[in-house]
Structure 1
Amino acid sequence: MESITEEQLIQMVRDFIESESSAPQISVSSSESHIDSDHHHQPSNIDTLEEMIWRETTDVEVEILEKILMYMRNMGSLIIEPKNLKKWVVLRLKMDGYEASLCKTTWVSFPGRAKGNYEFVDVITNGTRVIIDMEFRSQFELARPTQSYTKLIEALPSFFIGTEEKLGNVVTLLCSAAKESLKESGLHIPPWRKATYMLPKWFSENCKKVSFSPNSNSTIEEF
């Protein structure tokens, strides 16, 4: 498996920040707030997604994002295998005093939902739970996507940092858009593309939190 370099890791965070800076400002004047009888303006999925991701960013989310960016800049010659990236992030956050852990969720199958498992980073700070998912965008990629769905995914950060509420809203929006894309392409909507399957990746009741101690025998340099 190919290792992830410092440049690649920093680019992941840069993508997140550049998406924020390039998101258009939203301004609604009193004259624009009414519905024109000849033109019914409705926010697009991209507008709604950008509102969720960027306009509703909390101070806690920005704080953690800045921490991760700092980690990337200070990596030096360190090279991390992709399979160890989430563990490395957990260790660095714990070294800075955060209550961080690697979450491993599992869920059983039942009619309409297949079984599965997933991993992401979980941080509790000031009573707020923040989820860090380094593989977020890839979870919503489709075969033969429509043009509108492709643009929506391009507007999505390569990885996610946000609260549970934000995550739930974003996942629901993306699953709805994926459903429409599949229907327009004449494709069957598989169970694993529905919100009932996707949401348990982050919200399953069967969630095992694995914590790593910065003082243990396993060090970041061993990755």
Structure 2
Amino acid sequence: MGSLEEERLVQMVHEFIESESSTPASFSNSKNLSFNQRTKYFALQEILGSGTDVESEVLENVKRQMRKQNELEETTSSSVKNWLVMSLKCDGFKASLCQTSWITSLDCPGGDYEYIDITIKDENGNSTRLIVDIDFKSQFELARPTATYTELSDTLPPIFVGDENKLRRIISLLCSAAKQSLKETGLHIPPWRRTAYMHSKWFSQCTEVPTRRGNKETKSGTSGSSKVTKWTLPIVKPKRRDFGGGS
């Protein structure tokens, strides 16, 4: 975080502690938090509380659709995301199922990840891209976390809806806290808990995944009537050669 933002967060923490406003129950029971840890906690609270009306509308819609999840015959992660994309498109959202993939680098092992992408247009025609992740909180789980990190990660919502800037700020804050937690417990920091790997999940090159409705396959972000045809290798018949019967 930049110096101006840090100063603003420090001032916010001072005002919060000195005020008579109620403190979240779980946080008020943590008596051994350092000032830096308190700053991270309130910074995360501020980020999560900065949602726009559009984000709130999408989140409520996603929650409503997820309550119908038990109607699915299949409950795998991919099938749930596929079903949710189709449901959001039926509700008028320009939604798509995105898959990121990245190759192994020096400080980041390769992998792939899926999340939902929604494009919102305002009255002026400006587009806003929202990332929807229905398995967001579990991405930040740690082995043997400290009480401080547990308290911080428990603040994360199970379902994330927000723009890229909001997500980047959360990743930066949680990865910093995870590094401190692992250091305190004497554990090695695995590559998949570093900032580079977490960024790769949502910010690598994205490919739209075809969604399936019944037995029909449709491309995410398009109408349900569009079809995706599967290319097959054409059968080539061998030509018959006439070797002749002459001497």
TM-score interval, normalised by the smaller of the two chains: 0.7 to 0.9
Residue 102 of structure 2 corresponds to residue 107 of structure 1: yes
Question: In the TM superposition, what whole-angstrom CA distance separates every residue of 1:65-92 from its partner, at most 9, and x where no partner exists?
Answer: 121233245x396134133111111001
- The amino acid of 1:164's aligned partner reads E
- TM-score (structure 2 length as normaliser): 0.67
Report the equivalent of 2:208. Answer: 209
Report the equivalent of 1:199. Answer: 199
Report the equivalent of 1:122. Answer: 117
- Contact residue 100 and residue 211 of structure 1 kept, 8 A: no
Residue 70 of structure 2 corresponds to residue 70 of structure 1: no
- The amino acid of 1:115's aligned partner reads G
Higher Cα Rg, which structure: 2
- TM-score (structure 1 length as normaliser): 0.74
Partner Cα distance (2:201, 2:65) in 1: 26
SS state of the match for residue 142, structure 1? coil
Partner Cα distance (1:51, 1:105) in 2: 28
State, as a whole percentage, how many aligned pairs show the same letter.
45
Report the equivalent of 2:154. Answer: 154
Partner Cα distance (2:59, 2:112) in 1: 25
- Contact residue 122 and residue 130 of structure 1 kept, 8 A: yes
Residue 76 of structure 2 corresponds to residue 82 of structure 1: yes
Report the equivalent of 2:43. Answer: 48
- CA 1:112 to 1:72, structure 2 compared with 1: closer, same or farther past 3 Å? closer
RMSD: 2.8
SS state of the match for residue 71, structure 2? coil
- The amino acid of 1:178's aligned partner reads A
Partner Cα distance (1:188, 1:77) in 2: 39
- CA 1:214 to 1:128, structure 2 compared with 1: closer, same or farther past 3 Å? farther
Structure with the larger RCO, 1 or 2 (CA within 8 Å, 6+ apart)? 1
Where structure 1 has 5 or more consecutive residues not aligned to the other structure, the ranges are 1-25, 34-39
- The amino acid of 2:53's aligned partner reads D
SS state of the match for residue 96, structure 2? strand
Could you tell me which of 57, 76, 85 is aligned with 2:51? 57
Question: In the TM superposition, what whole-angstrom CA distance separates every residue of 1:25-73 from its partner, at most 9, and x where no partner exists?
Answer: x7976xx69xxxxxx966432211111011x101110110121233245
- The amino acid of 1:114's aligned partner reads P
- CA 1:41 to 1:189, structure 2 compared with 1: closer, same or farther past 3 Å? closer
* C-alpha displacement of 1:155: 1.0
- Contact residue 117 and residue 130 of structure 2 kept, 8 A: yes
How many residue pairs match? The answer is: 185
Q: Which runs of 4+ in 1 moved over 4 A?
A: 26-29, 40-43, 213-216
* C-alpha displacement of 1:154: 1.0
Where structure 2 has 5 or more consecutive residues not aligned to the other structure, the ranges are 1-11, 20-33, 122-126, 219-247
